[in-house]
Chains A and B, each alone.
Chain A
């Protein structure tokens, strides 16, 4: 039986009637049409479905939607301001860190969770923070470059 639930997605409130067994990835994609969140393995191994819950990266394919009622959910759609890309998005674009692009939203959100806490990460901290996100195209090299470049850009911005 459907239940009414309130979700705060990208700082907007949505009251939805959903089945209790619905996963967060289903609510985002099928109910709200936010298809930037991707599903790839369905068992929490690849990170493509990563979203932020209260700023922390969470696998939306393993999260029952009702458990995040009232929490702040951030999806990839929230990062750019109009056509102005978020510094992480900009870095991914400029460093060639995107090939097929299917893992990209999850990668960027994992990177955001890291950089929101630590604007000066080491190479190893970046790898560790993004190690739950699988990519089959890039060999990760340019993704790591992009995150480090974004960190630099964001910390410059923070200091000005």
Chain B
């Protein structure tokens, strides 16, 4: 596919950037409707406890308190699964029993919501919290998933027998794994663990809810999946869908956390109870304990190779720690296995996972959704196999990566992959040949490491990947594009403008994005699974194509030529055979709308897009590290990401995704650990003074290489790029640490303490 492109591929400025730079952009936490009350939540100080008594009388008497709600008040509403995966979205009918109430009389984790207050200002709401007396009966609790599966362990949910929330099997098993391991000439195996990681969205969870005079409910929601949020909120509060309106303001970061309902249910409950608008903004501490964060895993992994480095077998058993409610967590193992076991060409594969409920804050989706966890192990074992077989880590990867035409991770044909180019160009950029495998001396030792990965462009064929776009052309040749991806900072409005403008032959700034209101937008699954550019982009492309067909037909009539010979470029429609025959787009659009010949038409296009395909992006990651063998400190000094994400609609936006991925991956690799006290169940890392996310001084020199080759299925050849950027970062660092000091850390993150212990062990 080679196309002359005039808008796609350009580093355009984002339509929303100036509003954000001036402070004019409104986020949920900025919305202030007249008469708004401020909500606050009473949270359990215990990991597992029954509420025996709540006395709200003192708080109710406090001047300025408008309402206090307890589990008794919220029992009238439906229980729900906040991951919203009880919706019929997943092929195979995987459902989660609705299990969580708006408020709960049995706290299942530290920070579980027990009661809530609405008051005229924040200080009074906070004072009221102190006055609400709650008596708890502490119950035995369980933090460790292995312990939770043992007979006699406290049971957390009525439906999860033995606390197993969900057993997941690898969706694409193949061959005879046992036989293959018997025949394997080199087997590498290990037990790995990966932590819960908090999203650290810049904006904490926030919602505003208002019951309108006509009985309709408006919710300013940060949800990444606005239409699913609408359906779920209607369901919880026993309303028909058309009585709920979701407004999506700017969202101050998401990374998967806002793929689940966050502050919305309690906020709506307070608004219904008081009849007044309510705003509920979580504190940073609540953001850590009351929402889903990355699912932590312990897993065993085994890989079998032939002497020449050919991968023949792999299997895994993953144990995932869910929280007190199911949420999105179980799918992290399913997706992790699909991406991990399907990454390399390997004829024999199997995987099983138990996703276990524990008395800990919930686990769910976070950028990469299980893929960073499993690649942490896979990419270290590949290096171990290479060492055993006397191969270069680059060589063994080049031998086993899939080529175009093979079956990709999600069971579909791999239409395009440039992973080989990613590996070769990345290796050159980091200086692999000169740096890798050299003898190291001294206190500070340098090493380089590599990791690769495959991800997804959208959720098909696992989830129903349904998007809609509607475009209408205005009388001056500009266009309004009605879509509803979530603006979480991924520059999606710009990308969709470029796609629509390219197809229509106009400029990106000629497109107005109409979005953020479920009253107006057609159904949109939402922004997860690296899908917005790919899936909403495909919907946009086809809607624009339809509009273009109408446009050209009108223009053909006006010019007296056939529509087939017409082309559009730079807002002009002209005949390809007789270029002098031309008319501006504005003239055609004006004539269509203000038509006095009885042929009025608002030129428009609409597409209900259901992805049947998936074009996995592929990428290679290279870390160069310095390890101080006396302090155990690892410093990443250079990082190179080489990504095949199809045609980059806006290279500047793609770079931003990949650079941000490096930062989150370095945090996952070195410093970010969500600590729950085993004796008390209390979360000890609940703000940035105890949980270290990388700052500016922690970042290495980075280089991003975009391969920029179009994929046949994506809009103008684009693939997804939201998540892939962090997937291979941590294992590349681990492999670089090994190159530097010859020890392996299999338990993320690589802390100085773990590294010093490992160095000590290696010396003895």
- Min Cβ gap A126→B in Å is 8
Are A93's CB and B13's CB within 8 A?
A: yes
Which of B374-382, B419-427, B554-562, B687-695 lines the interface with chain A?
A: B687-695
Residue of A nearest to B641 (CB): A139
- Min Cβ gap A122→B in Å is 14
Question: Whole-angstrom distance between the alpha carbons of A100 and B255 in the complex?
Answer: 11
Residues in A13-67 with C-beta less than 8 Å from chain B? 19, 21, 26, 29-30, 33-43, 45-46, 48
Question: Whole-angstrom distance between the alpha carbons of A95 and B702 in the complex?
Answer: 16
Which of B78-86, B194-202, B440-448, B735-743 lines the interface with chain A?
A: B194-202
Question: Whole-angstrom distance between the alpha carbons of A99 and B650 in the complex?
Answer: 13
- Min Cβ gap A136→B in Å is 5
Are B702's CB and A141's CB within 8 A?
A: yes
Are B656's CB and A140's CB within 8 A?
A: no
Q: Which residues of A are in contact with B by a Cβ distance under 8 Å?
A: 19, 21, 26, 29-30, 33-43, 45-46, 48, 75-77, 79-80, 85, 89-90, 92-96, 98-105, 108, 127-128, 130-144
Question: What would be 24 A-B contacts, judged by CB atoms less than 8 Å apart?
Answer: A21-B123, A34-B23, A36-B23, A40-B203, A40-B284, A43-B284, A43-B687, A45-B687, A46-B202, A93-B18, A95-B652, A100-B488, A101-B19, A101-B20, A102-B201, A102-B203, A104-B20, A128-B697, A132-B695, A136-B199, A136-B693, A139-B656, A139-B699, A142-B659
Known: A141-B659, A142-B655. A89 touches B699 (CB 8 A): no
Q: List the A side residues contacting B254 at CB < 8 Å.
A: 100
Question: Whole-angstrom distance between the alpha carbons of A100 and B204 in the complex?
Answer: 12
Q: Does chain A have a CB within 8 A of B523?
A: no
Known contacts A136-B660, A138-B663; 13 further A-B pairs (Cβ under 8 A): A43-B689, A46-B202, A75-B23, A93-B17, A100-B252, A101-B19, A102-B201, A104-B21, A136-B199, A137-B253, A137-B656, A139-B660, A142-B655
Are B21's CB and A140's CB within 8 A?
A: no
Q: Does chain A have a CB within 8 A of B452?
A: no
Q: Does chain A have a CB within 8 A of B11?
A: yes
- Min Cβ gap A76→B in Å is 4
Partner of A101, one of B16, B664, B695: B16
Q: List the B side residues contacting A43 at CB < 8 Å.
A: 284, 687-689
Q: Does chain A have a CB within 8 A of B634?
A: no
Known: A100-B250, A101-B16. A138 touches B659 (CB 8 A): yes
Are B489's CB and A101's CB within 8 A?
A: yes
Known: A75-B23, A100-B253. A137 touches B697 (CB 8 A): no
Are B22's CB and A99's CB within 8 A?
A: no
Interface size for chain B: under 10, 10 to 19, 20 to 34, or 35 or more residues? Answer: 35 or more
Question: Whole-angstrom distance between the alpha carbons of A102 and B203 in the complex?
Answer: 6
Residue of A nearest to B30 (CB): A35
Residue of B nearest to A90 (CB): B21
Q: List the B side residues contacting A128 at CB < 8 Å.
A: 697
Question: Whole-angstrom distance between the alpha carbons of A12 and B124 in the complex?
Answer: 30
Known: A40-B203, A134-B695. A99 touches B660 (CB 8 A): yes
Q: Does chain A have a CB within 8 A of B280?
A: no
Question: Whole-angstrom distance between the alpha carbons of A93 and B494 in the complex?
Answer: 13
Partner of A135, one of B25, B202, B687: B202
Are A98's CB and B21's CB within 8 A?
A: yes
Question: Whole-angstrom distance between the alpha carbons of A134 and B19 in the complex?
Answer: 20
Are B23's CB and A35's CB within 8 A?
A: yes
Q: List the B side residues contacting A132 at CB < 8 Å.
A: 695
Are B284's CB and A89's CB within 8 A?
A: no
Question: Whole-angstrom distance between the alpha carbons of A118 and B142 in the complex?
Answer: 55
Q: Does chain A have a CB within 8 A of B662?
A: yes
Q: Does chain A have a CB within 8 A of B653?
A: yes
Question: Whole-angstrom distance between the alpha carbons of A77 and B32 in the complex?
Answer: 18
Are B284's CB and A42's CB within 8 A?
A: yes
Residue of A nearest to B664 (CB): A136
Are A41's CB and B687's CB within 8 A?
A: yes
Known: A35-B23, A131-B697, A138-B656. A94 touches B202 (CB 8 A): no
Question: Whole-angstrom distance between the alpha carbons of A46 and B687 in the complex?
Answer: 10
Are A103's CB and B202's CB within 8 A?
A: yes
Are A92's CB and B17's CB within 8 A?
A: yes
Are A127's CB and B489's CB within 8 A?
A: no
Q: Does chain A have a CB within 8 A of B491?
A: yes
Question: Whole-angstrom distance between the alpha carbons of A131 and B199 in the complex?
Answer: 20
Question: Whole-angstrom distance between the alpha carbons of A80 and B660 in the complex?
Answer: 27
Are A89's CB and B22's CB within 8 A?
A: yes
Q: Does chain A have a CB within 8 A of B26?
A: yes
Question: Whole-angstrom distance between the alpha carbons of A89 and B20 in the complex?
Answer: 9
Q: Which residues of B are in contact with A by a Cβ distance under 8 Å?
A: 11, 13-14, 16-27, 29-30, 32, 121-123, 199-204, 250-255, 283-284, 488-491, 652-653, 655-656, 658-664, 687-689, 693, 695-697, 699, 702
Partner of A35, one of B21, B26, B122: B26
Known: A89-B18, A131-B695, A138-B659. A100 touches B24 (CB 8 A): no
Partner of B655, one of A92, A96, A135, A137: A96
Are B652's CB and A99's CB within 8 A?
A: no
Question: Whole-angstrom distance between the alpha carbons of A128 and B661 in the complex?
Answer: 22
The 9 A-B residue pairs whose C-beta atoms are closest, nearest first, are A36-B23, A101-B20, A100-B489, A102-B252, A139-B659, A99-B489, A102-B202, A76-B23, A45-B688
Known: A35-B30, A139-B662. A133 touches B655 (CB 8 A): no
Q: List the A side residues contacting B696 at CB < 8 Å.
A: 127, 130-131, 133, 140, 143-144
Residue of B nearest to A100 (CB): B489
Question: Whole-angstrom distance between the alpha carbons of A56 and B17 in the complex?
Answer: 25
Q: List the B side residues contacting A26 at CB < 8 Å.
A: 122
Are B490's CB and A140's CB within 8 A?
A: no
Q: List the A side residues contacting B121 at CB < 8 Å.
A: 30
Partner of B699, one of A29, A33, A140: A140
Residue of A nearest to B25 (CB): A101
Known: A46-B688, A96-B653, A133-B696. A138 touches B660 (CB 8 A): yes
Are A38's CB and B203's CB within 8 A?
A: yes
Q: List the B side residues contacting A140 at CB < 8 Å.
A: 659, 663, 695-696, 699
Question: Whole-angstrom distance between the alpha carbons of A87 and B660 in the complex?
Answer: 24
Are A137's CB and B489's CB within 8 A?
A: yes
Q: List the B side residues contacting A46 at CB < 8 Å.
A: 202, 688
Residue of A nearest to B204 (CB): A40
Residue of A nearest to B254 (CB): A100
Which residue, of B25, B123, B696, has the highest number of chain A Cβ atoms within 10 A?
B696
Are A101's CB and B699's CB within 8 A?
A: no
- Min Cβ gap A81→B in Å is 11
Q: List the B side residues contacting A90 at CB < 8 Å.
A: 21
Q: List the B side residues contacting A89 at CB < 8 Å.
A: 18, 21-22
Partner of A134, one of B20, B122, B693: B693
Q: List the B side residues contacting A103 at CB < 8 Å.
A: 202
Partner of B688, one of A41, A104, A108, A138: A41
Known: A99-B656, A134-B693, A139-B659. A94 touches B253 (CB 8 A): no
Q: List the A side residues contacting B16 at CB < 8 Å.
A: 101
- Min Cβ gap B401→A in Å is 26
Known: A85-B22, A93-B17, A141-B702. A100 touches B659 (CB 8 A): no
Question: Whole-angstrom distance between the alpha carbons of A46 and B20 in the complex?
Answer: 18
Q: List the B side residues contacting A108 at CB < 8 Å.
A: 21
Known: A35-B26, A141-B659. A136 touches B202 (CB 8 A): yes
Residue of A nearest to B201 (CB): A136
Known: A137-B253, A141-B699, A142-B659. A79 touches B22 (CB 8 A): yes
Q: List the A side residues contacting B26 at CB < 8 Å.
A: 35
Q: List the B side residues contacting A79 at CB < 8 Å.
A: 22
Residue of A nearest to B253 (CB): A100
Are A93's CB and B688's CB within 8 A?
A: no
Which residue, of A26, A77, A104, A137, has the highest number of chain B Cβ atoms within 10 A?
A137
Known: A89-B22, A101-B16. A40 touches B699 (CB 8 A): no
Are A96's CB and B22's CB within 8 A?
A: no
Are B284's CB and A41's CB within 8 A?
A: yes
